[in-house]
Amino acid sequence: MIRRAYIRQVSTATRHASTSTKVRRSSRGPSGRSTRVDIVDEELCDTVLSRLRTTFPTPNTCDIIDVNPGLGLWSRKLHDAIQPRRHVLVEPEFSSYSEHLGPLIDQKDSKFRHTALLEDAYDPHSNLLSNYPEDGGNKLRPNLSLLMTVNLSGGHLSTALYKGTPARKFFADIQWSLWKIRNNISRYGLIRVLAWVSDDEKDAYIPRTVTARRKQAVMLEGSSLIKEVAGASVNKRPTFLRKWREIEVEDLARVAALEEAGGLTLPDERRQKAPAPDLLSIDPSPEALRRGQYSSDASWISEFLQLDDKLRTEQPEWYAKMVSGELRWRHMRDPTQKDQQIWRKLIRAATTQHTTHMKAVELILEQRGLDTTWRQMLASSGTLGRRDEGRLKTQAENLKNRISKLSRTNRAFAEKAIDDYRALDTNPQVMSWNQRRMEPVLVRSGDFQPADKPLALLDVTPRTDFFTRFDTYDNMVFFAHVARTLWLNSGKSVHDALKVLVYEGLDDFVKTIPDIHDPTKGGWYDLSAVRVRSIPVEMVVEIALAYIRWPFRQSADSILMFGQDPQAAYSLGDDD
């Protein structure tokens, strides 16, 4: 068949041996990262497991498959917390770690077992697990008797079909394993995975802001419940990977209230701190800039502060009058006073940026207020009267026009903040990060080896409802195709992205998508005014199901033959 010529299959048995990462090498991969990062802090393990303890199965009711256990500290702590029937250590480089793993296996009545290949753990003939379902189990049902933990740190993989990090490949493999396209992780049912990943790539799987949302994160959110259990601070990351500071503070307070109501505690040194205010939100007076209670990497600040100190020392009378407001800008036009001219230029530019930024903030808050009013009116009555709907649409059009007149920088900032607010205010919230009910444990330098390579722990549980709706290989191909098409246009309007997806007959196609115009479900009356990146994953699922029913869609064969590989959710080409 044509299909078989285009389905890319990778055998677990052959790939694990060839792509397993080496331990304690001096060589580095393309990212400059050494090949394996190990957990070395017992207190971190104890704190993390205390957050997870209530979610673990009853002792002696499950097996653990532990991939890349390394030094074995996390393995021992997890073993003590769960008390499994069997604990299979899948360590390809056992000789490098035998000093740490050997005693676990050799102890009397040990429940630890070792194998170099993941495939062996799943093989009934190996007897590594305590139980193998005779019929293979129901793949669409959760298997609570099996838990996997895996360390996905390390250098990039390079095979004939894939180049990239182990984590990106692993999470894509999970989604396709029901059809044996990648490997067979789900051969005994849908299993929970506790995955340690490099902290600098966690946003690829559980982004915190809409601008960091990519195809793989959307597919993972749609097919799994994913939580960040532990991770490093993001306060110093680029703004592309963070929410606007005001949204971040509000979100931290929301989760803190949930933790307090649930009786959850976390040591202060293990809790994420609120980010400092943005420089643009502060009136840029010399005193405010000198206090430094803001976040910014603007290079002009140090130059301005040096110049400000110089003028304050060498020209105290002029400086005092200038700061007090006795002198106006028109009194500073003496061309011989170069330092005064530079000082004036810098402070005026900063003031202008602050003023225009705050105008954008006003529009952001106004848009949020309109969205909230619209949702509340719909939630209370179910429908809107003609007069109310007309009034709200008029306000929406007015806001849309005013936002479009902002400068490019301020418009991008406003649109990002509006989308992040919409993601947070929608019920249920858009993105797994916004749905958290507790903060992740903050990791620190020294928790890992090497110390400067922090990891994040992700808790991933497949969603049965997703796999019952996309219950065939073809349907999964269609879902991946829809997700890829939408997120190649993530910053564009839903209208424009859907037009790329269906080419013609867009109006008729939209009519087949439930709730796409409902603001309470993440939709909007005008699809040209809402961006793809802010819509809920449930809306993506509905679009994919509508596409499956659409009589004029591409066939699965044509997608596989002529399009980008929809299975390659980890492909850097899809995300960059």
Q: Which of 159-168, 220-229, 292-301, 334-343 has the highest mean pLDDT?
A: 220-229
Region label for 337, one of left (φ > 0), alpha (ψ between -120 and 50) or beta (otherwise): beta
Distance set, CA 390 to CA 374, 375, 543 (Å): 11, 15, 27
pLDDT of residue 126: 94
pLDDT of residue 30: 38
Do 230 and 367 have their domain in common? Answer: no
Distance set, CA 470 to CA 88, 234, 463, 516, 545 (Å): 31, 35, 11, 20, 8
Per-residue pLDDT band at 194 (split at 50, 70, 90) = very high
Measured torsion, CA atoms of residues 560, 563, 568, 570, in degrees rounded to the nearest 10 = -170
Distance set, CA 495 to CA 47, 479, 516 (Å): 46, 18, 11
| Domain boundary residue, one of 423, 443, 465 | 465
Q: Is the pLDDT at 300 greater than 90, yes or no?
A: no
pLDDT of residue 378: 87
State what percent of residues in the chain have pLDDT above 90. Answer: 63
Per-residue pLDDT band at 478 (split at 50, 70, 90) = very high
List the CATH number of the domain containing 483.
Answer: 1.10.8
| Domain boundary residue, one of 441, 465, 489 | 465
Residue 411 domain-assigned?
no
- Cα-flanking dihedrals φ and ψ of residue 342, to 5°? -65, -45
Do 9 and 154 have their domain in common? Answer: yes
Reported as a single tens digit per residue, the pLDDT across 126-168 is 999 998 887 665 677 889 999 999 999 988 887 777 788 899 9
Task: Read off the amino acid at residue 509.
Answer: F
Residue 419 domain-assigned?
no
List the CATH number of the domain containing 95.
Answer: 3.40.50.150
Q: Is the pLDDT at 181 greater than 60, yes or no?
A: no
Reported as a single tens digit per residue, the pLDDT across 82-116 is 999 999 999 999 999 999 999 999 999 999 999 99
Three-class DSSP category at 189: coil
Beta bridge partners of 225: 461
pLDDT of residue 550: 96
pLDDT of residue 335: 57
Do 378 and 440 have their domain in common? Answer: no
Do 243 and 108 have their domain in common? Answer: yes
Reported as a single tens digit per residue, the pLDDT across 390-420 is 999 999 999 999 999 999 999 999 999 999 9
pLDDT of residue 338: 84
Three-class DSSP category at 149: strand
Residue with tokens 């979100």: 251
Mean pLDDT check: name the lowest of 16-25, 64-73, 252-261. 16-25
Residue 412 domain-assigned?
no
Sheet with 224-231: strands ordered across: 112-115, 86-90, 63-67, 142-151, 190-198, 455-462, 224-231, 441-442
Do 561 and 529 have their domain in common? Answer: yes
**421 vs 5 pLDDT, higher one:** 421
pLDDT of residue 308: 87
Give the pLDDT mean for 315-341: 71
Q: Is the pLDDT at 29 greater than 50, yes or no?
A: no
pLDDT of residue 4: 39
Residue 528 domain-assigned?
yes
Task: Read off the amino acid at residue 118.
Answer: L
Which of 16, 81, 75, 11 lies closest to 51, judged by CA? Answer: 81
Q: Which residues contact 105 (CB under 8 A, 6 or more apart)?
A: 89, 112, 113, 114
What's the chain's average pLDDT?
Answer: 87
Mean pLDDT check: name the lowest of 376-385, 417-426, 457-466, 512-521. 376-385
pLDDT of residue 176: 78
pLDDT of residue 318: 80
Do 475 and 461 have their domain in common? Answer: no
Mean pLDDT check: name the lowest of 296-300, 446-450, 457-461, 498-502. 296-300
pLDDT of residue 32: 38
Do 103 and 169 have their domain in common? Answer: yes
Burial class (CB in 10 A: 0-12, 13-18, 19+), 352: exposed
Per-residue pLDDT band at 368 (split at 50, 70, 90) = very high
Kind and range of the H or E run holding 231? strand 224-231
pLDDT of residue 328: 61
Do 9 and 96 have their domain in common? Answer: yes
Q: Is the pLDDT at 324 greater than 90, yes or no?
A: no
**564 vs 452 pLDDT, higher one:** 452
Do 477 and 545 have their domain in common? Answer: yes
Residue 197 domain-assigned?
yes
Per-residue pLDDT band at 67 (split at 50, 70, 90) = very high
Mean pLDDT check: name the lowest of 50-59, 160-169, 266-275, 294-303. 294-303
Per-residue pLDDT band at 573 (split at 50, 70, 90) = very low
Domain ranges, residue 542? 470-575
- Cα(438)–Cα(392) distance, rounded to whole angstroms? 36
Do 213 and 340 have their domain in common? Answer: no
Q: Is the pLDDT at 33 greater than 70, yes or no?
A: no
| Domain boundary residue, one of 465, 480, 513 | 465
Residue 26 domain-assigned?
no
Beta bridge partners of 56: none
Q: Is the pLDDT at 567 greater than 60, yes or no?
A: no
Number of domains in the chain: 3
Residue 333 domain-assigned?
yes
Residue 428 domain-assigned?
no
Mean pLDDT check: name the lowest of 135-139, 144-148, 352-356, 472-476. 135-139
Q: How many CA atoms lie within 13 A of 320 on its CB side?
A: 5
- Cα-flanking dihedrals φ and ψ of residue 454, to 5°? -70, 150
Burial class (CB in 10 A: 0-12, 13-18, 19+), 160: exposed
pLDDT of residue 572: 32
Do 453 and 484 have their domain in common? Answer: no
**300 vs 184 pLDDT, higher one:** 300
Do 342 and 384 have their domain in common? Answer: yes
